[in-house]
A and B are shown apart, each in its own frame.
Chain A
Amino acid sequence: MMPPILKLTNVTKDFGFRVIDNVSLDIIEGERHALIGPNGAGKSTLFNLITGRYHVSKGTIRFKEKRIDGLPPYKVIRLGIARSFQIINLFKDRTVFQNMRTAVVAKHRLGLVCSRLLGRMVTLAAETEYLLDRLSLLPFKDEIAGILDYGQQRALEIGLTIALDPELVLLDEPGAGLTPSETKEVVKLIREITAKKTLVVIEHDMDVVFDLADRISVLNRGRLIACETPDEIKKNSAVKEAYLGNLFDA
């Protein structure tokens, strides 16, 4: 039995009031894990705790058996975790190309280099364009990112996360605000790019969740109330209660 790639043990976060309450969760390497729950349940907070934006009040977080709670975000990312944001968090006044190139440069750990690296810059540019092509954003590479339509910005947002080539991908509501057809595209994209990686995705759209997930965790008021396969979740009465029913009728 392989150790989990990400292990949360008794994680608690207090902001004066308790936001995350004694959550213990194992994420298996290679799985697609969905994190669902009503608004305010603490799902994004959990991502923030994992990526080091907040410090845990109690408990530990281990990535590949190494403790990561307490590390600043940039160190957590360097270990192989990357996240996307629920509210689109691009470099809005820079071009699409510049956005992606920053991620590519970061992936190659060249962010602080102060020489021109003539040869490398060319290969980095090529890699940037390749990635933009996979996202179908290459035609827009010289457009300012803020001008793109929402679906394209979403794609770029996810793209920046994947460009870092992380082992563990955390996607925060990748489908938020998308039309049904755009959602289908995004799901397809997510499948492709997380093929050999571990994925944890926060989503409200249940179609997406059941389509993608190997296992589903349900968070309610900071507590983990279930962590099971999709079929089991459908039958779980506590989960139904949390969502006030109706959610799984389809």
Chain B
Amino acid sequence: MKRSYKLGCIALAAFFMSAYPLVASKFYTYMLIEIMIFATLAVSYFLLLGHTGLLSVGHAAYFGVGVYCTALSLIHLPNLPVPVAMLVGTLCGLVAGLAIGALLLRLSRIYFTFSTLAFSQMLWAIAWKARSVTGGDDGLSGWSSRQISLPIFGSFGLGNLTFLYYFVAVIAVMSIIACWLFTRTPLGNTLSSVKSNMQRVDFMGININAAKLMVFSFSAMIAALAGSLFVLFKKMASPDFIDMFLSFDVVVMNVIGGYTSFVGPIVGSVVYVFLVEYLSSFIERWQLVLGAFFVCLLLYYPGGVIGVFNQVANRIVRPMRVEE
């Protein structure tokens, strides 16, 4: 796509998103906040799968670490400002990524993949079992009356949807931009090369395990950041936010949008949230439909929405180019 088109799209999206809560209903504002948080989560996953080729099926673990660590900070350290509690949650995600990554990344492909699920399940089990700390399947709550104080703008309650929208938007956009920049660094280039031919990178004198650990921890950190936002948004923490179905949904978001391009997970999260909203209103077992849709996409349209878009765009653009 030409540069000017891209910039135009981004400008339009920025304008749209800035004006949104001022014109949209509460319902749709709520939905867009959820989309932004999921988009951040989905993009963090893209760094692993689409960019580096690491197939993890336990990404919910880091989102969940962000959720629970932020929630626990909010509950047990009530004097801590909300943004600092978020920071705690995010850093816990980074640490979890480092710890689990250090152990798992040395494993060969298949071992790595199902170990990601195993360790995610372990964290879920802890969330489920450690009732005294995590509240078990009842989860945690109790910070909905908290306020976020910002230097210039003043204090806002978590119940203020418009404020929450802008707060989440700024953080989500910055996180996604950070991920984008990450892919454009020499490390990002190394990881793309690892995806293409891991052995050759090794034989160029680059420490691939170190590279993988760096992306894994960074991805975990961003996922945890999304989790900390989610905690402020939903005003609760529950084992649902760390279970394997969430890991599956993260993958679904990537696949729907097209898991090999950066924009894919962003598009995918939008489609995902709308799809779930639409399906759940008239099918009780909408997860079944989603799963079937997911498998069909993989079989027939692995490029996802972006893939289809590219195909269509080529068909339109090519005849135009020939005429020139």
Q: Do chains A and B touch in the complex (CB under 8 A)?
A: yes
A: residues with CB less than 8 A from B are 51, 72-75, 77-78, 82-83, 89-94, 98, 101-103, 105-107, 109-117, 121, 160, 164
Chain B interface main SS type: helix
CA distance A94 to B189 in the complex (A): 11
| Chain B residues within an 8 Å CB radius of A107 | 205
CA distance A114 to B219 in the complex (A): 14
CA distance A101 to B192 in the complex (A): 12
CB closest residue in chain B, given A115: B185
| Chain B residues within an 8 Å CB radius of A109 | 205
Judge whether B199 and A102 touch: CB under 8 Å. no
| Chain B residues within an 8 Å CB radius of A160 | 200, 204
**Of B184, B185, B197, B203, most A-chain CB atoms within 10 Å:** B203
Judge whether B202 and A73 touch: CB under 8 Å. yes
Judge whether A111 and B197 touch: CB under 8 Å. no
| Chain A residues within an 8 Å CB radius of B86 | none
Given A51-B203, A98-B189, 8 extra CB contacts under 8 A: A73-B202, A74-B208, A89-B199, A90-B197, A90-B200, A93-B196, A102-B204, A117-B185
Bits for B186-197, please: 1 = Cβ < 8 Å to A, else 0: 111110110011
CB closest residue in chain A, given B215: A114
| Chain A residues within an 8 Å CB radius of B201 | 102, 106, 111
CA distance A113 to B197 in the complex (A): 19
Q: Which 9 A-B pairs have the closest CB atoms?
A: A77-B205, A111-B206, A106-B204, A91-B196, A78-B205, A114-B187, A113-B186, A102-B193, A111-B190
A164 and B184 contact, Cβ closer than 8 Å, known pairs A91-B193, A92-B197, A98-B189:
no
Does B314 have its Cβ within 8 Å of any Cβ on chain A?
A: no
| Chain B residues within an 8 Å CB radius of A91 | 193, 196-197, 200
Could you say which of A82, A83, A94, A113 contacts B193, with CB atoms under 8 Å apart? A94
